[in-house]
A and B are shown apart, each in its own frame.
Chain A
Amino acid sequence: MTAALRALLWRDLLVALRRPSDVATALLFFVVVASLFPLGTGAGPNLLREVAPGVIWVAALLSSMLSLQRLFAADHADGTLEQLVLGASPLGVAAAAKVLGHWLVSGLPLVAIAPAIALQYDLSPRLYGTLALSLLLGTPVLSLIGAIGAALTLGVRGGGVLLALLVLPLYVPVLILGAGSVAQASAGLAPDAQLELLGALLAVSAAFAPWAVAAALRIAME
């Protein structure tokens, strides 16, 4: 079972490595969206410092959602997904491997690049730790919940827009807690409560989401 998980994860990472432009596009999208806000709202340092956590989190949400459409599409098109459904190892494990691969390729780079955006927004350096930690806890939840939406809209007409409609409302708790933790820290208070709730969200969604993804994939494949 772990062998299947490892093999699938390794394959997904290799595919991502061979086509680095896919990864780069989502990352670039994150940077571009975050750069648009100062141009739209005006670049007063006080305003920017105040909106920075929310803007970074919204950009992360959108960027994570953008790469979701590719999560199962290629495997669906070339028949790999059918083999996974028919295969000996539980489909939930395969779903978990796909989600983990998605997070490593699209979530983790956001954590790494977020301080650069924070710098643009003149966020105080002491908040970088909280920002990175909240993204580290929150972006896997985005991949987990998003994978359910990606599996449900697999091969459906108008899938991209529909995926956004399904997934974004479910992302709201992550957004509130993630941006809230940084705002709390910038107000000089301990962000523990928000971070712990994010951790709880991660634990619950990591336990249940892979099986929901597996159920959704079965529905899509029959």
Chain B
Amino acid sequence: MNATIRWFWFASPQTFFPLAGTIARACGWLAVPLAAAGLYVGFFVAPTDAQQGEAYRIIFIHVPAAWMSMFLYVVMAFWAAVGLAFNTRLSAMLASAIAPTGALLTFLALWTGSLWGRPTWGAYWVWDARLTSELILLFLYLGFMALQASIEDPRRADRAGALLAIVGVVNVPVIYYSVQWWNTLHQGASVSLTRAPSMAAAMLAGMLLMALAFWMYGLWASLTRLRCIIRERERA
């Protein structure tokens, strides 16, 4: 048996294009029932919170969006770094395809967070470490997109954006650990792999369903955008 695995088979935009379409369609169709189930559990099954009342239900959108906003940045920086190191066109295209979705989810996390903050903290916005670092994440996404948009040559845009994404990745651990390092107004993580969840099972189920739905949405949106970028650039 030939032991060489063709790692780079799908590194070519032409061969990845149909596969991206298949994955995107599958994820898109999975996202709809997952989101419907997650929202149903979140709004109708999960019990009312003892302290926060009904207002807490926004976490079913807020927490998955915030997770994805950080995760997507790391994925984007990873593919940008791969593109910079191995000079693969597809990696750089994927990085620029992820950025708008990441920015959207960051904005969504901030927006839902401020809607939740009004009834709970009494203010739409506080200059808390986690809020501030999430806001900076939004600026980093926007800076990445603005830099790529303003450079005409796509290869230079890819590489310049990649360098910026790698420099900005320093911010992600700061956001993630900000609630522990600074003991902020924003509460600590409610879900952890290492200890028992600090919430009702139905709440957890709703949140995990929504997180899966956001994953599927993120994959669908990024890969669909990737297909558009491939079409645009590989026309010649």
Contact = CB atoms under 8 A, between A and B. Distances in A.
A156 B163 contact: no
B147 A170 contact: no
B167 A156 contact: no
Contacts, number: 52
Interface residues of B, number: 19
B167 A169 contact: no
A222 interface: yes
Interface stretch (B64-72, B136-144, B208-216): B136-144
A172 B136 contact: yes
The A contact surface, by secondary structure, is helix
A169 B147 CA distance: 14
B143 A166 contact: yes
B150 interface: yes
B151 to A, nearest CB: 6
A215 B164 CA distance: 11
B139 A222 contact: no
A216 interface: yes
Most buried by B among A145, A148, A169: A169
A219 interface: yes
B160 A169 contact: no
Interface of A: 145, 148, 152-153, 156-159, 162, 165-166, 168-170, 172-173, 212, 215-216, 219-220, 222
28 contacts: A145-B167, A148-B163, A148-B164, A148-B167, A152-B147, A152-B163, A152-B164, A153-B150, A156-B147, A156-B150, A156-B151, A158-B150, A162-B143, A162-B147, A165-B139, A166-B143, A166-B146, A169-B140, A172-B132, A172-B136, A173-B174, A212-B163, A212-B167, A216-B160, A216-B163, A219-B156, A219-B160, A220-B156
